[in-house]
Chain A
Amino acid sequence: KAGVTQTPRYLIKTRGQQVTLSCSPISGHRSVSWYQQTPGQGLQFLFEYFSETQRNKGNFPGRFSGRQFSNSRSEMNVSTLELGDSALYLCASSPVPGSETQYFGPGTRLLVL
């Protein structure tokens, strides 16, 4: 079974631009969560989607948004990029919300200049 895939793996943007990251969960998994990893803050929860609906949201500004498609693939969007948005963005999938374990993708490393 293929793992969680994320595209692109690396991205360089400038302040003020917007970015869209994509995540394809493990086949059969319907829950997708997004995390931001930075050296100082560790892994911080962004949001979780299940059946095309956002179930949970972390403490991030409205510039961070996401969606999930009927095939469970998910995208997250960051608008009006700031330097502090430079981070590794990780996507994790699980069969349903509340599953014991989540399976993480390799992440998208975003650099904002």
Chain B
Amino acid sequence: DQQVKQNSPSLSVQEGRISILNCDYTNSMFDYFLWYKKYPAEGPTFLISISSIKDKNEDGRFTVFLNKSAKHLSLHIVPSQPGDSAVYFCAASAWNTDKLIFGTGTRLQVFP
């Protein structure tokens, strides 16, 4: 049972445009969400997070939106750059456990 789902395995966006990566979850106990970026042959690196008491968190070009009623979060990258090309994982954890549950990832390709 996949509690965190990234239904788009890949996304292709032109440089300068907006990239929107989506993530859905099923467990209503999740209260903290993170996005990680992963380049080939490297481990994931933390990008941005949001707790369930907020519906938006912004850090430079990256904004994460959380819609608790829809159990949906999204990562917006504006403007997209070729260096953003990577696999993006969303992850979630519940208040009563430190375990991080990851989605299957979305491969983003930003082309010139």
Q: Which residues of A contact B (CB under 8 A)?
A: 4, 33, 35, 40-45, 48, 55-56, 58, 90, 92, 97-98, 100-107
Question: Interface SS of chain B: helix, strand, loop or mixed?
Answer: loop
Q: Which residues of chain A are within 8 angstroms of B103 by Cβ–Cβ distance? A: 42
Q: Is B14 positioned at the interface, with any CB of A under 8 Å from its CB?
A: no
How distant is B5 from chain A, measured CB to nearest CB, in Å?
9
Q: Which residues of chain A are within 8 angstroms of B101 by Cβ–Cβ distance? A: 45
Q: Which residues of B contact A (CB under 8 A)?
A: 6, 34, 36, 41-46, 49, 89, 91, 97-105
Q: Known interface pairs A40-B104, A43-B89. Does A104 touch B44 (Cβ–Cβ under 8 Å)?
A: yes
How distant is B99 from chain A, measured CB to nearest CB, in Å?
5
22 contacts across the A-B interface (CB closer than 8 A): A35-B102, A42-B6, A42-B102, A42-B104, A43-B44, A43-B91, A43-B105, A45-B99, A45-B100, A55-B98, A56-B98, A90-B43, A90-B44, A92-B43, A97-B98, A98-B98, A101-B34, A103-B46, A104-B44, A106-B41, A106-B42, A106-B43
